[in-house]
Amino acid sequence: MAIAHDEDGVMSTGDRLIYMANQIARNLASEGTERSIEMVADHIRSFWDPAMRRRIVELAHSRPETFSAIASAAIERVAAA
């Protein structure tokens, strides 16, 4: 799950979204897999604007290796809604 940085050490917008989704998933992982997945999906649906939600779904399809299992499953649920 490597995140790229530019020469100044700054993450791209896409990389930042990936980082945020994985961070939310990591923070909620102690809830158990199924509950964590639903909580991450709820967080993304509730607090991310539509453009961010569209972009994270695109990134999950184009760069699936950069997402944790929980983040990936949550994004699949967001995409299906």
Tokens of 23: 């961070």
Q: How far is C-alpha 2 from the chain's CA centre? A: 14
pLDDT digits (tens, 9 = 90+) for 14-70: 999 999 999 999 999 999 999 999 999 999 999 999 999 999 999 999 999 999 999
Measure the CA–CA gap between 8 and 63, rounded to whole angstroms.
23
For 1-14, write each residue's pLDDT tens digit. 555 555 566 678 99
